């Protein structure tokens, strides 16, 4: 993994992992909040994207904040289509 030594630069498309052809099938019901996790959302809803490490544990903090409609843990940006943590 020597190509990722410089932590200030993102890997280019030629260095990205191949990913998968199809997105993972998921339910649209948030397990804890009971709200939808995919659009459409209520008209007054806004989207926020946070970059976090250990995001599974951190997501729980957002469930408890007033005004949070729903949460979802995803890999965002980058070149890998339908990435997986495996």
pLDDT(41) > 70: yes
Query: Per-residue pLDDT tens for 24-38?
Result: 888 899 999 999 998
**Residues 64-74: what's their mean pLDDT?**
91
Distance CA 64, CA 67 (A): 9
- Nearest residue to 67 (alpha-carbon basis) of 49, 85, 84, 42: 42
Q: What is the mean pLDDT of the chain?
A: 84
Burial class of residue 70, CB neighbours in 10 A (0-12, 13-18, 19+): buried
Residues designated as active site:
54
Distance CA 72, CA 22 (A): 18
Query: Per-residue pLDDT tens for 50-64?
Result: 887 777 788 888 988
Q: pTM for the whole thing?
A: 0.68
Distance CA 51, CA 3 (A): 22
So where are the chain's domains?
41-86
């Amino acid at each position: 993994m020597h190509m990722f030594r410089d932590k200030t630069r993102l890997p280019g498309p030629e260095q990205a992992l191949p990913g998968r052809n199809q997105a993972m099938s998921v339910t649209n019901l948030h397990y804890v909040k009971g709200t939808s996790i995919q659009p459409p959302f209520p008209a007054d809803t806004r989207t926020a994207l946070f970059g976090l490490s250990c995001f599974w544990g951190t997501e729980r903090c957002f469930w408890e904040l007033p005004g949070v409609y729903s949460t979802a843990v995803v890999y965002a940006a980058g070149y890998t289509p339908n990435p997986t943590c495996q």
